[in-house]
Amino acid sequence: MHTLFRARQIPLPAALVRLSELAHNLWYSWNDSAKSLFAEIDATLWDQCQHNPVRLLIEAPNEKLERLAGNGDFLRRYQAVIQQYDAYMERQTWFERQYPQHVHQAVAYFSAEFGFHELLPIYSGGLGVLAGDHCKSASDLGVPLVGIGLLYKKGYFNQKIDNRGGQQAENVVYDFMKLPIGPAYALDSESSQECEEPSSSPDAATETAPEELYITVPVADRTVRLKVWQVQVGRIPVYLLDADLPDNSPWDRELTGQLYGGNQDIRIAQEVLLGVGGIRALRALGIPTGAYHINEGHAAFLSFERLREQLDQGLPFHVALEVVRAGTVFTTHTPVPAGHDAFPLPMFDYYFSKLFADYPGLRHDFTRLGFDERKQAFNMTHLAMNTAALRNGVSKLHGHVSREMFREFHGDIDVNEVPIGHITNGVHLNTWLAPELKALFNRFFPGSWQQHQTNPDMWSSLQIVPNESLWNIHSGLKKRLIGLARDNLREQRRRSSLPADKLAEVDGYLSEQALTVGFARRFATYKRARLLFNDLNRLDRLVNNPERPLQFIFAGKAHPADQPGQDMIRDIYQVSQMDRFRGKIVILENYDINLARVLVQGVDVWLNNPRRPYEASGTSGQKAAMNGVLNFSVLDGWWEEGYDGANGWSIHSNDKSDPETQDRENTQSLYHVLEHEIVPLYYSQGEFPSPWVDRMKHSIRTLSPVYNTDRMVMDYTNGTYVPSLVRTQRFVSNHYEEATKVADYKKFVRSNWQHVRVLEVNDGLTTGRQPVPSMAPTKEATATVHFGPMWYRDTAVELVYYEEQPDGWRQVVVVMEPTRHLNENTIVYRAVIPSHLRHGSHFSVRVHPVSANFTHRFELPLVKAY
């Protein structure tokens, strides 16, 4: 994309000058040679500063850098990394090959959180890490994405666990000068007008220093000023907005203080900054943008700002809405209505009062776009649904749950017809796969295998990887995890001023030989972190089996306002302190991307037992899977589609049972599978568990090609981004001709739909004749439809019935053919159907409007059924 990122040059010896550039591009964080290079400068400092190369370079002693600048071996590796970096930034990409005509239009990806790396803690959990991984794969694939988010001065919080198991939330104020971020700069106005040419020439740029970028956003009755920062994620720029400026009131300065901090007032104000401010930042940057991705409802206010822009162009509201919808993609992540952001109407009114004062006509229309009848509130998900032509859930099962949840948006249709699809989440392979495993695969896989990670055949090379090599590497990763776990536990105790022998005790905790199960994620109630503890005696027998011991490592943060989540932490802590579980069940503090990486690479089994179907997708299990860690999970989210019966294990329950029964059934299944399958398999061969390694390989081979973000971003690109770019171009060309046509057509249909009626349905007579001897007898049914002022060709007349299939009832839709005009606007339709069907009891007839310009068949929620 055409952006200027002028990262500060950190003073360095001349021979190493490009380390500064490298440090300012998060590309380094998924390149193992680059990471090793930084670690070599000062391994202790590297760990101390959260693997932040900017801080490392600033704080490393000068003599050390000078010495390395004279070290031929180091210089060679430095050169090699710089070469890799340049090659990466310049290589021709998948997107350039697939869509050369779209490389000049950006896709703007809006998200309230981004989890790129532990050094930039502007994420709280899976949603943020997903956004981070999305950007990284977009970079690898060359998708012209730009990220938009907020720069939280205090990030999320650091978690400490005290000696009673209480969670202490510690706030850290980050020093932006020591992070790999920098101010963003506006392009000069001329070059930003057109989308053809990249920014001004290098000489022009040095002549006049560009200005740091600031924008303003109306929030309630005030104007908030924002500074735009940039973080470079490979090829992808991500712009982060920061309100902590002297011009703003103390209250406003805090708006970008903390991720999900504070009350609903802060929340809505943050969302205004993200949505409205994000669009303004894109405009000020001069980035030509053709598609907008709302990653969860938080970001949906971007549609308001885009509507306002179109209205300023002179478009009427209904046309502006079509333009906005054409280019917007919405991904929902929350399978329960209560989890969607909704604000009381007076609060919504207050935060948009300045905007509504300037555009008095808008209040009614804007409110309607997000109005939630049931909650009597302004619902961000409703706004997103109503302003995005393409919407999706994040796994197959979650797609289904979302269609059920949002059925009301589309009138009286079958749940499977609701136009919400799914794109299953994935994870960024180069971020999550252990460097040691990458090195192993490099030896046996085809060259640049990472670029072919979505090809299942590529992964069959795993067959030739010796089981012993895979196992040895896995054992090393487990050892590393246990070391880190002990450090983490020792630190917890050190803070409680325990005597030295209590600290030393930790060195005996966890065994490198024992089967190790990991459970780490946000402590949200639906994740049921305590399920394992429902029968402590049974757990005791598993854990303390002298021949076949089992151990558990827990970690995770609970939101500071979530008391039940914090109670879970306390309960796990208390179990971990019981004599019979000490050193065998542990809970680590401050779960972040760093700890996640070590955990998903180092345990043997990854446990996940959410209450179905609340886990929209889940991604930590995908990270584990590519590292050969076997999943043991409820068939929810991604695991419902990933599990093949042999690449891990499932925790069963009858999905239709009530929550208590589900808890009980899942608990039984959890113990049973551990006792009868997992533990015996792990210990089946004494020293070297080959059947286990076979299963690891099977898991890697079946899951890695699918549950990675390359596959996911390709799906988004092919299925949503490119169609949005194309539709936007079509809609806006010729002075919005197409958008106007669609908008006017919809308006016409809406105001005339009342006249459309199915007057009569005739069951037809069974002919008794069978068209083909083996087929059931058929008959012809007819329906008489009155269209009023509508043109019959602008509708579909369909006969609908249900057919029993092994997996339940399936809807069958038969398109009826017009046969006879009774008069100008009354027509008889016919269809051939199985002769046993009767109108009313078996089938119905429906009419709905259609248009080639609709994104989907039920774009208008208008259906007349009879």
Ligand X SMILES: *Cc1c(COP(=O)(O)O)cnc(C)c1O
- Hunting for tokens 């774009």 — which residue is that? 859
149 binds ligand X (CB under 6 A): no
618 binds ligand X (CB under 6 A): yes
399/618 with CB nearer ligand X: 618
Stretch that binds ligand X, among 13-21, 437-445, 612-620, 792-800 (CB under 6 A): 612-620
352/591 with CB nearer ligand X: 591
What minimum distance in Å lies between the beta carbon of 123 and ligand X?
7
What minimum distance in Å lies between the beta carbon of 619 and ligand X?
4
What minimum distance in Å lies between the beta carbon of 487 and ligand X?
18
Stretch that binds ligand X, among 20-28, 123-131, 270-278, 498-506 (CB under 6 A): 123-131
What minimum distance in Å lies between the beta carbon of 858 and ligand X?
32
Pick out residues in 488-527 that bind ligand X (CB under 6 A).
Answer: 521
The single residue among 53, 121, 126, 565 that binds ligand X, judged by CB under 6 A, is 126
308/521 with CB nearer ligand X: 521
558 binds ligand X (CB under 6 A): no
596 binds ligand X (CB under 6 A): yes
- In residues, how long is the chain? 866
SS3 per residue for 293-330: EEECHHHCCHHHHHHHHHHHCCCCHHHHHHHHHHCEEE
- Opening angle at CA 30, ends 27 and 32, nearest 5: 110
119 binds ligand X (CB under 6 A): no
Distance (Å, whole) CA 302 – CA 292:
9
Distance (Å, whole) CA 295 – CA 712:
14
The single residue among 395, 619, 662, 795 that binds ligand X, judged by CB under 6 A, is 619
What minimum distance in Å lies between the beta carbon of 592 and ligand X?
5
593 binds ligand X (CB under 6 A): yes
Residue 758, C-beta contacts closer than 8 angstroms, at least 6 positions apart: 783, 784, 785, 786, 845, 846, 847, 864, 865, 866
What are residue 392's DSSP bridge partners? Answer: 331, 421
Beta strands in 386-440 (DSSP E): 390-393, 421-422
565 binds ligand X (CB under 6 A): no
What H or E segment, with its residue span, contains residue 804? strand 795-805
Q: What is the four-CA torsion angle of 479, 481, 486, 489, rounded to 10 degrees?
A: -170
- Opening angle at CA 152, ends 150 and 153, nearest 5: 140
Query: How many residues make contact with ligand X (CB under 6 A)?
Result: 12
227/623 with CB nearer ligand X: 623
Are the beta carbons of 324 and 306 closer than 8 angstroms? yes
What are residue 110's DSSP bridge partners? Answer: 148, 294
The single residue among 60, 106, 129, 630 that binds ligand X, judged by CB under 6 A, is 129
What minimum distance in Å lies between the beta carbon of 829 and ligand X?
49
What minimum distance in Å lies between the beta carbon of 125 and ligand X?
4
Tokens read off for 817:
């053919």
Tokens read off for 204:
């022009």
Cis upstream peptide for 613 (omega within 30°): yes
What minimum distance in Å lies between the beta carbon of 155 and ligand X?
13
242/592 with CB nearer ligand X: 592
What minimum distance in Å lies between the beta carbon of 177 and ligand X?
25
What minimum distance in Å lies between the beta carbon of 719 and ligand X?
23
626 binds ligand X (CB under 6 A): no
How deeply is 452 buried, as exposed, middle or buried, from its count of CB atoms within 10 A (0-12, 13-18, 19+)? middle
Distance (Å, whole) CA 44 – CA 642:
40
- Phi, psi (rounded to 5 degrees) for 69: -65, -20
130/187 with CB nearer ligand X: 130
594/668 with CB nearer ligand X: 594
Stretch that binds ligand X, among 228-236, 359-367, 613-621, 654-662 (CB under 6 A): 613-621
- Hunting for tokens 């990394």 — which residue is that? 81
Stretch that binds ligand X, among 45-53, 122-130, 533-541, 582-590 (CB under 6 A): 122-130
The single residue among 68, 95, 109, 125 that binds ligand X, judged by CB under 6 A, is 125
What minimum distance in Å lies between the beta carbon of 547 and ligand X?
31
Amino acid at 280: R
Stretch that binds ligand X, among 379-387, 397-405, 407-415, 616-624 (CB under 6 A): 616-624
351/519 with CB nearer ligand X: 519
Are the beta carbons of 108 and 289 closer than 8 angstroms? yes
- Opening angle at CA 276, ends 275 and 281, nearest 5: 100
78/591 with CB nearer ligand X: 591
What minimum distance in Å lies between the beta carbon of 600 and ligand X?
8
620 binds ligand X (CB under 6 A): yes
- Rg, the chain, Cα only: 29
Give the residue from 24, 12, 104 showing the smallest Cα distance to 58: 12
55/623 with CB nearer ligand X: 623
Contacts 24+ apart (CB under 8 A), 827-830: 827/784, 827/785, 827/787, 827/792, 828/782, 828/783, 828/784, 828/785, 829/782, 829/783, 829/784, 829/785, 829/797, 830/780, 830/781, 830/782, 830/783
478/623 with CB nearer ligand X: 623
31/124 with CB nearer ligand X: 124
What minimum distance in Å lies between the beta carbon of 521 and ligand X?
4
636 binds ligand X (CB under 6 A): no
* Strand, helix or coil for residue 197: coil
SS3 per residue for 143-193: CCEEEEEECCCCCCCEEEECCCCCEEEECCCCCHHHCCCEECECCCHHHHH
Tokens read off for 617:
């997708």
592 binds ligand X (CB under 6 A): yes
27/606 with CB nearer ligand X: 606
What minimum distance in Å lies between the beta carbon of 339 and ligand X?
14
409/526 with CB nearer ligand X: 526
What minimum distance in Å lies between the beta carbon of 603 and ligand X?
13
Distances (CA, A) of 828 to 281, 536, 845: 56, 70, 12
Secondary structure tally for the chain: helices H, strands E: 34, 29
Q: What is the four-CA torsion angle of 410, 412, 415, 417, rounded to 10 degrees?
A: -60
95/591 with CB nearer ligand X: 591
C-alpha dihedral sign at 426, 430, 431, 434 = positive
What minimum distance in Å lies between the beta carbon of 22 and ligand X?
24
10/569 with CB nearer ligand X: 569
648 binds ligand X (CB under 6 A): no
324 binds ligand X (CB under 6 A): no
600/739 with CB nearer ligand X: 600
Pick out residues in 833-852 that bind ligand X (CB under 6 A).
Answer: none
What minimum distance in Å lies between the beta carbon of 520 and ligand X?
7
Positions in the binding site for ligand X (CB under 6 A)? 125-126, 129, 521, 591-593, 596, 618-620, 623
